[in-house]
Chain A
């Protein structure tokens, strides 16, 4: 039994957790949910010894514990499978699995013993991997399995999963869930930090909701339907059911704003043909690696196409660089917004203006007043929550950061928006808000290409869903009204995975 008793944590002047008390039962799978910044990851990190509480205490089986480092927690049987996958990418699987306690003879590494131990640890959780491969060459899913093997192999009886599925494809998630089920059967206590409600409902038996660093409620998962959890997380009722309006134009009765014909790039995708009309949202679904993001990169001129044509408003265009793409009215909201979409240290105003500097400049000198005026417009239009337009973007929450990234393109009045995973790492309420924003942009006549790994999102927010598999278009699914959502989702999933029966 793990008990949090009045746990408080400050980071500098910021209060991440205040006076949190609740209990996790042995052998249960306990969900920690909350919006970004609610303190759920901090709580997991405290339990695993990554951070130390400022006040209050953590008790295990009635005895208070104080961990100075993750190793101390591990010695007490508590491990963490971390969001950022803490490994040395240059070292092999075997090296990483044994790093804290390398088998040796008089200071010389005993490679044979190391390989054997690594294989045993992987086999213990039912995984077979080449232990001599550098871990940096493995995919995220495999690396996570190595982390689980490390935790279990080190004798952990409690494993904290910190946002484990945030970077996994659907297939990798399913594999992870199988392993989780195995750990549950073996009686381990699992703490599942996440904001994906579907996986929580599927895996967890108990749920604790946090909001603004405070404990809101703990109870059996059965007593908490999705909308109740969301309400507790947000502190207010949230309408999750965002649907595109059904009177939106179909591709047949409007001229295609963007038309792509036979587009291909050697080694990543081939024969991609689709079009998006003004006011239309076309979803791009597919497993990670199916070529969705690669198409986006080519459209925005980050990579060159090797064949095919792109037409904008009926005219054939050649896109060789992002500048070319921008001239055609294209905008890309990249998957990795922190590295590719924003300059985190700079202000909201500067980020908003980044793609429109020529327009704001006179004699090639940017007018700061114009920059701020533009930022104020965008902050109002998109309801961006920020202390001021001069605040660094890094201080904003994930959802608001994403809005700034989008504002950058709206400020240019881009007519074709390519959105790559626009709601990744964004909390539930902000997600719904972004979905509404997408619908609003489409209604205002933008052509939107929405790439998403989340099936519900892509189906709910798009008029049509183009499904990619293995670098080709596997099919296009058009939804027949709101009632058709579940069936559409089924059809998309079948196309994604290549399963044709059933």
Chain B
């Protein structure tokens, strides 16, 4: 029985930690009063501080931006690389999309809603893809460690965003994009970012687990020389994973643009740490060759849950960075311990090892 669940022990461990943490915060956080507009008046409810629709939706939405990027980062990390520029790509994509949309006018009078949405999303995605492809191309062509390349492009991309926006927050676009991203199920339930996140994670999981080129990603991350000797297209695979990571950042940028209705060059500052931490907590190995899309999603959820918990438990916000950093290290240590345990359970006794 243990042998059969052993390969999934890490994911199971992560889910257990998530549930345990949510449980503790739900109990310790107690109840709060919320108000909802009903029939022109306000109605007050007593609800659990964590387990209420508004709070959970907030959590899910903020998770979705990080999670989508973490799925992209997982592919890069599994291939043995690293992408520090995600936060900057996110900002540049969202800013570019915002500028294009603002060009269409605040009411969208000059363009159909469909065109406005398409232009906004396409711009964000295109910028993301271009940035990612550039990262990949530089890594492959210059043969410099991706840490250095993306450290450089992290500054460059955010710098370009700053130049384009002239340091201003860009607002005032046609309402169509916001209408889609903030599509309301009723009572302020916006499921779109959540659904996009789940869709991205599932598609990426299928790609990594079952596509031939997904296998190539793990092969290159596991042993690049062996992969080269097997005739795998190393350069193409690397450019592809960075491009996909860029596309993920672009998509997250489009969602945030629609959700918040504005963008600036400062958007997503420091996200690379959250994104990489989410991927690693989700099981990606910085040595390459290991990682999972669903794990990355749970990793992002854990990181956002920590942030939310700090608010709910009324811990001084000034401590949030310290706590987050500590939790990331603890989570990775736990993950390693569970991983070691899983390997021990999986390794058959020497007697039938032949």
Chain A residues near B (Cβ < 8 Å) = 50, 69-71, 86-91, 95-96, 99-100, 102, 104, 107-109, 128-129, 137, 139
Contact = CB atoms under 8 A, between A and B. Distances in A.
B231 A108 contact: no
A86 B229 contact: yes
Interface size class of B (residues with CB under 8 A): 20 to 34
Contacts of A90: 218, 221-222, 289-290
Interface string B333-354: 0000000000100110000011
B212 interface: yes
A91 B210 contact: no
Contacts of A96: 226
A109 B215 contact: yes
Contacts of B222: 88-91
B227 interface: yes
B226 A107 contact: no
Nearest to A70: B229
Interface in B303-354: 343, 346-347, 353-354
Nearest to B285: A90
10 closest Cβ contacts across the A-B interface? A88-B222, A90-B289, A100-B230, A90-B222, A86-B226, A71-B231, A99-B230, A88-B223, A70-B229, A100-B231
A42 to B, nearest CB: 16
Nearest to A71: B231
Interface string B205-231: 000001111110011011101111111
11 contacts: A69-B228, A89-B223, A89-B289, A90-B218, A90-B222, A91-B215, A99-B215, A99-B226, A102-B212, A104-B212, A137-B347
Contacts of A107: 211-213
Given A71-B231, A95-B219, A100-B231, A88 B226 contact: yes
Given A90-B221, A91-B215, A109-B212, A99 B227 contact: yes
B51 interface: no
A89 B229 CA distance: 15
A245 to B, nearest CB: 41
B226 A109 contact: no
A88 B229 contact: no
B18 interface: no
Contacts of B198: none
B232 interface: yes
A221 B219 CA distance: 41
Contacts of B232: 99-100
Interface in B231-281: 231-232
A90 B210 CA distance: 16
A69 B231 contact: yes
A447 to B, nearest CB: 34
Contacts, number: 66
A86 B224 CA distance: 9
Contacts of A91: 215, 218-219, 222, 289
A477 to B, nearest CB: 26
A95 B217 CA distance: 12
Contacts of A137: 343, 346-347
B229 A69 contact: yes
B212 A87 contact: no
A482 B230 CA distance: 51
A99 B347 contact: no
Contacts of A128: 354
Nearest to A95: B215
Interface-centre pick from B214, B230, B231 (highest chain A CB count, 10 A): B230
Contacts of B229: 50, 69-71, 86
A322 B290 CA distance: 34
Contacts of A100: 230-232
Interface-centre pick from B214, B222, B227, B343 (highest chain A CB count, 10 A): B222
Contacts of A139: 353
Given A71-B230, A90-B289, A100-B231, A108 B221 contact: no
B336 to A, nearest CB: 15
A87 B215 CA distance: 14
Interface-centre pick from B213, B226, B343, B353 (highest chain A CB count, 10 A): B226
Nearest to A99: B230
Contacts of A109: 210-212, 214-215
Contacts of B223: 86-89
A139 to B, nearest CB: 8
B175 to A, nearest CB: 40
B215 to A, nearest CB: 6
B212 A108 contact: yes
Contacts of A108: 210-212
A96 B211 CA distance: 15
Contacts of B228: 69
A470 to B, nearest CB: 10
A238 B119 CA distance: 80
A297 B346 CA distance: 27
B302 to A, nearest CB: 24
Interface string B182-212: 0000000000000000000000000000111
A100 B218 CA distance: 13
Contacts of A86: 223, 225-226, 229
Given A86-B225, A88-B226, A88-B289, A99 B211 contact: no
A104 B215 CA distance: 11
A187 B218 CA distance: 36
Nearest to A50: B229
Interface-centre pick from B210, B229, B289 (highest chain A CB count, 10 A): B229
B227 to A, nearest CB: 7
B211 A87 contact: no
A108 B211 CA distance: 4
B226 A87 contact: yes
Given A90-B218, A104-B212, A107-B212, 17 more contacts: A50-B229, A69-B229, A69-B231, A71-B230, A86-B225, A88-B226, A88-B227, A91-B215, A91-B218, A99-B219, A99-B232, A100-B231, A108-B211, A109-B215, A129-B354, A137-B343, A137-B347
A109 B353 CA distance: 27
Interface in B105-148: none
Nearest to A82: B229
B206 to A, nearest CB: 8
A116 to B, nearest CB: 17
Interface string B279-302: 000000000011000000000000
Contacts of A70: 229
A128 B354 CA distance: 7
A275 B24 CA distance: 59
Nearest to B226: A86
Contacts of B212: 102, 104, 107-109
A107 B184 CA distance: 38
Contacts of B227: 88, 99
